[in-house]
Amino acid sequence: MLHEHRLFPAEGAARSVAAKLYETVKDLPIISPHGHTDPQWFAENKPFPNPTALFLQPDHYIFRMLYSQGIPLESLGVPQGGAKGDPAAAGQVDPREAWRIFAKNYFLFRGTPTRIWLDYAFSTLFGLTERLGPGNADEYYEIIAAKLNTPEFLPRALFDRFKIEVLATTDAAVDDLKWHQQIKDSGWGGRVLPTFRPDAVIDAEYLGFQENIQKLGEIAGEDVATYKGYLNALRKRRAFFKSMGATATDHGHLTALTADLSETDASNLYARIYSGKTQPGDVELFQAQMLTEMAGMSVEDGLTMQLHPGSVRNHNLKVYEKFGRDKGADIPSPTEYVRSLRPLLSKYGNEPNFTMILFTLDETTYSRELAPLAGHYPCLRLGPSWWFHDSPEGMMRFREQATETAGFYNTVGFNDDTRAFLSIPARHDVARRVDSAFLGRLVAEHRLDEDEAFELIQDLTVNLVRKAYRL
């Protein structure tokens, strides 16, 4: 099922150079500076419940594709976390039945990265080397279910087996990080770090925003009725996250808009946000202002800042109402960076102690905006091809479109960005293969010396990520 030369160029010198390069990085540790795994797994170290709960129900990459072909999410036992959902419904679905639906429709994933990741996990972890399909659905289920109950498949054992050097989670600004504390206290050597993600206390349209900032104030012991208190509360939370090992912040905004308001204007804006008496544009402007404030705090405390704009969240209202957030209905839209980032970059773009990593879902910005920006501003680095573009073709387009202007050294290696724990080694493996393939082609076309390619594949796999995230 897994050919040793998969994802390399199909022929000749490019293929053989790629294979040699990959050989030198395939066994390197995994550095995962940005993702969405659950720290509770590693704190409690309990077995994963069953194949369906592990692979299918939490992975919107999988069930969105099944849904797009008319398969009801209810039949898969996708948790109904929305306002109109039935929390008990998922539990009423026989996980084995859901798995059969999945297996029967496994052909839908042909040509997708999901297929590559799943085949990798099935094969390397469970020894399943016959392609999943309706005929072997039950066999798959039983083999996986059995293994999940063995000590080798507990979260920490897998973490070690995957050779994860460091794994960053994503955590709300008001999170008490108790699972992270429990991991620390446990004496286990795995390095699981939090990441400071304040969207829920910055985006005034976020569900529960008003409660969130109240909670922020309480936790931090600051009066969030004033802008100053609010900023102080954030500053304290950042310090707390940093004390718990965090090296980065993460910001998911609808656009890349930034602003640099006067103190008075910013205070007044916050007063309107705080009171809920906003004027048109206030919500977006406040997010814009806060990106610049967050950049300023990064200059102070050295946390690397990540910005992920461009996703229209919860596009399908009916799915959102029943199933809640993160159900595969987040759709990218055109994203502008050049004018949007100017206020922030004018203020902090030349600061030596500041690193800001930009991601995009709009590939047209690679060559037009992102590479030229990162190829100039000292603070900027480009995140890897992200989300829908975390795929062989997507990664290759990123390298082809960004490298000539930004070079390799304004990029930061790979992010898996996943909540699917078992897909982590597969995702990093794909990235290492595609980078090897890209470098192999450059060498075969005599655009890069071979000794440089060997150095670069190390940099792309471990060195750049360590540096950018200060790990």
Considering only residues 397 through 436, tell me which ones interact with a copy of itself, judged by CB under 8 A: 400-401, 403-410
Q: Which of 163, 315, 325, 470 is the binder for a copy of itself (CB under 8 A)?
A: 315
- Give the dihedral sign, CA 31/34/35/36: positive
Residue 342 CB, shortest distance to a copy of itself, in Å, is 7
Instruction: Name the token pair of 269.
Output: 């804006």
Q: For the CB of residue 84, give the shortest distance to a copy of itself in the complex, in Å.
A: 13
The interface with a copy of itself within residues 26-65 (CB under 8 A) comprises 64-65
The nearer residue to a copy of itself, 188 or 388, going by C-beta atoms, is 388
Among 148, 345, 457, 471, binds a copy of itself (CB under 8 A): 345
Among the listed ranges 77-85, 232-240, 392-400, 416-424, the one in contact with a copy of itself (CB under 8 A) is 392-400
Q: Residue 247: which of 305, 292, 297 has the closest Cα?
A: 305
CA distance linking residue 445 with residue 380, whole number of Å: 30
The residue count for binding a copy of itself (CB under 8 A) is 92
Helix, strand and coil percent figures for the chain, each rounded to 5: 55, 10, 40
Smallest gap from Cβ 383 to a copy of itself, in A, equals: 16
Minimal distance, residue 367 CB to a copy of itself, in Å: 6
Residue 454 interacts with a copy of itself (CB under 8 A): yes or no: no
Distance, in Å, from the CA atom of 29 to the CA atom of 462, rounded to the nearest integer, reads 8
Nearest to 298, CA basis, from 229, 215, 239, 216: 239
Site string for a copy of itself, 78-107 (x = CB under 8 A): -----------------------------x
Q: DSSP alpha helices (H): ranges in 302-336?
A: 317-323
Q: Does 281 bind a copy of itself (CB under 8 A)?
A: no
Q: Which of 97, 394, 450, 458 binds a copy of itself (CB under 8 A)?
A: 394
Write out the binding residues for a copy of itself, residues 125-184 only, by CB under 8 A.
131
Site string for a copy of itself, 325-344 (x = CB under 8 A): ---xxxxxxx-x-xx--x--
Contact 408, 459 (CB under 8 A): yes
Q: How far apart are CA 338 and CA 312, in angstroms?
A: 20
Q: Report yes or no: 357 and 382 within 8 Å, Cβ to Cβ.
A: yes
In angstroms, give the least distance from the CB of 319 to a copy of itself. 7
Residue 58 Cβ vs a copy of itself, minimum distance, rounded to whole Å: 17
> Which is nearest to 265 in space by CA: 248, 282, 244, 250?
282
Residues 6+ apart with CB under 8 A from 230: 213, 216, 217, 222, 224, 270, 274
CB of 380 to a copy of itself, least distance (A): 7
Instruction: Indicate which single residue of 287, 391, 436, 461 sits in contact with a copy of itself (rule: CB under 8 A).
Output: 391
Contact by Cβ (8 Å): 418, 36: yes
Tell me which DSSP letter residue 168 carries. E
User: Among 92-100, 181-189, 274-282, 310-318, which window interacts with a copy of itself (CB under 8 A)?
Assistant: 310-318
Q: Which 8-state DSSP code applies to residue 181?
A: H
Six-digit token string for 33: 């500076």
Give the shortest CB-59-to-a copy of itself separation in angstroms: 13
